[in-house]
Chains A and B, each alone.
Chain A
Amino acid sequence: MAVKGFLREKSLYLLLVVFALVLPFLITDRYVFQIVIMGCLFSICTLSMNLILGYTGQVSLAHAGFFGIGSYSVALMTKEGVSFWLALPLASLLAAATGLLIGLPTLRTRGSYFAIATLCFGVIISVVAGNWIEVTGGYTGIVGIALPSPLFFPGIGPISFQTMVAQYYLVLAFLLLTLLVMHRLVYSLFGLGFMAIRNNEILAEAVGVNTFAGKLLSFVVANFFAGLAGGIYASLIGSISPSTASIDLTFNWLIYLLLGGAATLAGPILGAFVIPVILDQIQFLQGYRMIIFGILLIVVIIYFPRGIMGAISDLVRRARACYERGKGMKRAAAG
């Protein structure tokens, strides 16, 4: 029976990927398409934030800072004539390496101290971006960042990234890569160690999990993908400024993650797509928008602490229990 359920899950994934692949043929509106592309990009951010925050239980509030490191690195390198395809992995590695340096001292602290330390680091990054004028262009930022250079595929020829369709597929490919890495980490004995750290650090140590190394690795991997998303963002949008590394972005992703469902793989993606749409729909509330949204946020966190995905899986479990009970009753009645 377990095998059957497993297959069903796989075919569901396949269906979703097929849907994602044909999506450009269904959307004609450029505005909607832009939202979808940003949704995919921010999904990479929330998925990686989910690794350190959702699975490992360490509240990192520097995520946009690492996103900023990735975006500024790609912008500066491509301006110097480095190919986007070389600049992107280098920028991601730089974000990861910075994460390592920041993580070494800060991950030794516990609970809110880590959150505060990373919050400070995130702010520092955007302040540096605003004031290191010779390099970052100050508050005007960097404009005219080139699109990813055309990729040559044997048999198909060069593919340029001028069109939104091509840009969408580019972002989708990186989203799938992120999802694959997260999936492999999370559904493994190795990744179970992250959840052990989140759940009970002392017990984790007692069963032989090197909790410090685990936290550090989770942080570094999360920041690698934050940097990756930042690099793609810079190249697709074409201009960046200190707001690209601002704490507002971190909190946006945090909301997507918590509302979508932390410590699930579908939750962060769902959040990154659904929440911006909801915010867009209540645009008419103008100044009151964030008040209404804030109340909504509190309600959801109290009643659905595991977000939308948590609520869905609870519903499914209840429905299944109901169904089993019904079957049992029928059998009892027949017998």
Chain B
Amino acid sequence: MLLQVENLTKHFAGLAALSAVSFEVRESEILAIVGPNGAGKSVLFGLISGLLRATSGRIFLQDEEITGLKPHLRACKGIARTFQTTALFDQLRVVDNLALGYRLRTKSGFWATLFHSPGWNKDKTKTTERVEETLDFIGLTEKAFHSVSVLSQLEQRRLSIGMAIIGEPQIVLLDEPTGGLVLQETELITDLIRKIHQAYGITVCLIEHKMRMVMGLAERIIVLNFGRVIAEGTPMDIGGNPQVVEAYLGEKYVA
């Protein structure tokens, strides 16, 4: 078991955003979390990545409890994430963004940097290699030295995924990776996600609205509604679950 969530609850000023959510993510699978707006999907990612504090409940990464850990330490342990409103370092260039994604795998601190120690040189070479490799992987080699602010929506999305995987994480949490994209672009990103999974064997956990995309991509689906897990299973199970269809997918999907 890679990631395990036990009875996770989050209250905002007394309002329950998540109530006693439990589930697990298996080694190298693609798991999708779906649910209507306000179901608590993004809150769940916030709790797993540590940017939000759980009201109660526990989180384990490879049987090690990480519930109280600071977000940057969770990132170092191998939990990478992207954000719903594509978050990038928009004052910096594409290469800098990727290098920052890899920074957690380097060891050079203040003194090593000041004196250009042998370790610093090694880190520098390794970072350059990984950045080049990832640029190629996400197809942004041409734009390497461009400022992030001039990238298209699709390119920004690709870059955010590149930043998440460059540090060789155990698991990536993708928060609506295709939100706001048109159909063609959605397919390109879906392909990229499949490619991450195949090429690097990274476990993927994603939040998605587009059911068709989820059905074709995910191996397992968890359905959240009003902060609770209402269904869990393969795309086939979920598609046929009347409770899910009623609560979330709506009549349109049945038809």
Question: Which chain A residues have a beta carbon within 8 Å of chain B's beta carbons?
Answer: 181, 184-185, 188-193, 195-196, 198-200, 202-211, 217, 221
Q: Is the CB of A209 within 8 A of B103?
A: yes
Task: Give the Cβ gap from B108 to chain A, nearest Cβ, in Å.
Answer: 6
Identify 10 new A-B residue pairs, CB closer than 8 A, beyond the known A184-B113, A207-B100.
A184-B114, A185-B114, A190-B108, A200-B87, A200-B88, A205-B72, A206-B81, A207-B103, A208-B75, A217-B110
Task: Give the Cβ gap from B214 to chain A, nearest Cβ, in Å.
Answer: 24
> Are A192 and B81 also in contact (CB < 8 A) when A205-B71, A206-B51, A207-B167 are?
no
8 intermolecular pairs with C-beta atoms under 8 Å apart:
A185-B114, A189-B99, A195-B96, A204-B72, A205-B51, A206-B71, A209-B104, A211-B72
* B60 lies within 8 A of chain A by Cβ: no
> Are A189 and B114 also in contact (CB < 8 A) when A195-B89, A206-B49, A206-B71 are?
no
* B92 lies within 8 A of chain A by Cβ: yes
Complex CA–CA separation, A185 to B109 (angstroms): 10
Contact pick for A184, options B104, B116, B123, B127, CB 8 Å? B116
Q: Is the CB of A195 within 8 A of B114?
A: no
> Are A208 and B108 also in contact (CB < 8 A) when A185-B114, A200-B89, A203-B83 are?
no
Q: Is the CB of A207 within 8 A of B104?
A: yes
Q: How many A-B residue pairs have CB under 8 A?
A: 97
Closest to A198 in B: B91
Most buried by B among A195, A205, A217: A205
Complex CA–CA separation, A205 to B81 (angstroms): 11
Q: Is the CB of A191 within 8 A of B113?
A: yes
> Are A193 and B89 also in contact (CB < 8 A) when A203-B83, A206-B49, A217-B110 are?
no
Complex CA–CA separation, A195 to B97 (angstroms): 10
Contact pick for A208, options B51, B76, B99, B114, CB 8 Å? B76
Q: Is the CB of A203 within 8 A of B88?
A: yes
Task: Give the Cβ gap from A318 to chain B, nearest Cβ, in Å.
Answer: 15
Closest to B105 in A: A208
Q: From residue 97 to 134 of chain B, which have CB atoms closer than 8 A to chain A?
A: 99-104, 106, 108-110, 112-114, 116, 120, 123-124, 127
Task: Give the Cβ gap from A324 to chain B, nearest Cβ, in Å.
Answer: 15
Q: Is the CB of B103 within 8 A of A202?
A: no
Task: Give the Cβ gap from B107 to chain A, nearest Cβ, in Å.
Answer: 10
* B219 lies within 8 A of chain A by Cβ: no
**B71 cross-chain contacts in A, Cβ below 8 A:** 205-206
Complex CA–CA separation, A59 to B106 (angstroms): 28
Task: Give the Cβ gap from A25 to chain B, nearest Cβ, in Å.
Answer: 33
**B135 cross-chain contacts in A, Cβ below 8 A:** none
Question: Which chain B residues have a beta carbon within 8 Å of chain A's beta carbons?
Answer: 49-51, 70-73, 75-76, 80-81, 83, 87-92, 96, 99-104, 106, 108-110, 112-114, 116, 120, 123-124, 127, 163, 167
> Are A189 and B103 also in contact (CB < 8 A) when A208-B75, A210-B72 are?
yes
Q: Is the CB of B72 within 8 A of A202?
A: no
Q: Is the CB of B113 within 8 A of A190?
A: yes
Q: Is the CB of A208 within 8 A of B167?
A: yes
Complex CA–CA separation, A170 to B57 (angstroms): 61
Complex CA–CA separation, A152 to B203 (angstroms): 64
Task: Give the Cβ gap from B70 to chain A, nearest Cβ, in Å.
Answer: 8
**A208 cross-chain contacts in B, Cβ below 8 A:** 72-73, 75-76, 103-104, 167
Complex CA–CA separation, A195 to B109 (angstroms): 16
**A199 cross-chain contacts in B, Cβ below 8 A:** 89-92
Nearest 5 pairs between A and B by C-beta? A208-B104, A208-B75, A205-B71, A190-B113, A199-B89
Q: Is the CB of B113 within 8 A of A193?
A: no
Closest to A205 in B: B71
**B127 cross-chain contacts in A, Cβ below 8 A:** 189
> Are A202 and B99 also in contact (CB < 8 A) when A190-B110, A211-B72 are?
no
**B110 cross-chain contacts in A, Cβ below 8 A:** 185, 190, 217, 221
**B92 cross-chain contacts in A, Cβ below 8 A:** 192, 195-196, 199
Contact pick for A181, options B49, B108, B114, CB 8 Å? B114
Complex CA–CA separation, A181 to B96 (angstroms): 20
